Amino acid sequence: MTAEIPADTNIEAHSALADLPEERAAEVAETIEGRDAGKAGETLVHIDHVTMKFGGLVALDDVDFTIRRGEILGLIGPNGAGKTTCFNAMTGVYRPTSGTVIFDGKPLTKVKRNKITRLGIARTFQNIRLFPTMTALENVVVGADARHHTSVPGALFRSARHRREEREAIDRAVALLEFVGIGDRAGDQARNLPYGYQRRLEIARAMATEPKLLCLDEPAAGFNPAEKVELMGLIKQIRDQGYTVLLIEHDMRLVMGATDRIVVLEFGRKIAEGTPEQIRDNPAVIAAYLGVPDEEVDLDGDA
């Protein structure tokens, strides 16, 4: 299926902003602007020599790399290489056996899972996890709620602060739905949306938490080639709005075309790190993928 994507696909940053009237597009862009806009290049995450063991199995072996603010970092590797484990260590699901994840200057090791969102890390899942009977808008507002500061009594008595936060959350949610291109379906129940819209809704919901780091776990799974290219264009546009993106994606051509840098894992070890061009020509990476029965793994793009 993915072989239909041309090897030299140049994925342009694209979002639905271009389809909105100019004035509204400017409003939407301002409303959704990431908290790290203007800080591009600084270190946001340091995976500091992280080892993760499950019994005798070493899923991550002294893995060390950084994610810089304002970049799209691709995390790739053959099946079982440790990508999801790395992702989970970074989102508080797993605590490393040794080593530390430093996020925004602070170690994550002692942070409880439910505090991760407040710190500024959001994620989407391989299997879509939406609230199916809530509307698209409600799903995104729930995401924004994760950052609210109103106390329970404040919410009960609908304090001025609570009302303002609610208003802002709705405005932001509407803007996010427009940004990802599903503004016209805001009132539909999530379960009634087409699959591709549900994937975009998941991204909008994650963005509603105002994350510094947006972790996308195979966001294009189940898409046809044209939809994949379009989604990668949206991810580039998300970066351009001031977000940092960590992307796990199996489709090599998409990863090559959509990311700024790539980290390659194999058997739990980091075997390469660099720009897509450097990774494409890296002998260790080519060797890691040799014999993998997957048409997507076409580093030269001439299969």
State which residue, 28 or 86, has the beta carbon closest to ligand ATP: 86
C-alpha closest to that of 94 among 80, 79, 84, 104: 84
Quote the least distance from Cβ 203 to ligand ATP, whole Å: 20
Count helices and strands in the chain by DSSP H and E runs: 11, 10
Quote the least distance from Cβ 96 to ligand ATP, whole Å: 13
State which residue, 36 or 266, has the beta carbon closest to ligand ATP: 266
CB atoms within 10 A of CB 134: 15
Listed in sequence order, the residues at least 6 apart from 280 whose beta carbon sits closer than 8 Å to its beta carbon are 256, 299, 300
Quote the least distance from Cβ 217 to ligand ATP, whole Å: 9
* Number of residues near ligand ATP (by CB under 6 A): 11
User: If residue 29 lies in a helix (H) or strand (E), which one and from where to where?
Assistant: helix 22-32
Residue 38 DSSP one-character state:
T
- Which residue's entry shows tokens 């790399």? 65
Q: What is the residue type of 206?
A: A
C-alpha closest to that of 32 among 141, 132, 179: 179
Residue 36 DSSP one-character state:
T
State which residue, 217 or 230, has the beta carbon closest to ligand ATP: 217
Please give the radius of gyration of the chain, using alpha carbons only, rounded to the nearest integer.
19
Quote the least distance from Cβ 79 to ligand ATP, whole Å: 4
User: What is the β-pairing status of strands 72-76 and 98-103?
Assistant: unpaired
Quote the least distance from Cβ 296 to ligand ATP, whole Å: 12
Binding to ligand ATP in span 240-259, by CB under 6 A: none
Check residue 34 for interaction with ligand ATP (CB under 6 A): no
Binding mask 85-114 for ligand ATP (x = CB under 6 A): x-----------------------------
State which residue, 1 or 57, has the beta carbon closest to ligand ATP: 57
- Which residue's entry shows tokens 């430093």? 102
> How deeply is 114 buried, as exposed, middle or buried, from its count of CB atoms within 10 A (0-12, 13-18, 19+)?
exposed
Q: What is the largest CA-CA distance in the chain?
A: 64
- Which residue's entry shows tokens 């862009």? 29
Quote the least distance from Cβ 100 to ligand ATP, whole Å: 18
Binding to ligand ATP in span 49-88, by CB under 6 A: 54, 57, 59, 77, 79-85
State which residue, 80 or 274, has the beta carbon closest to ligand ATP: 80
State which residue, 59 or 254, has the beta carbon closest to ligand ATP: 59
Quote the least distance from Cβ 242 to ligand ATP, whole Å: 28
State which residue, 20 or 63, has the beta carbon closest to ligand ATP: 63
Quote the least distance from Cβ 95 to ligand ATP, whole Å: 12
Binding residues vs ligand ATP (CB under 6 A) = 54, 57, 59, 77, 79-85
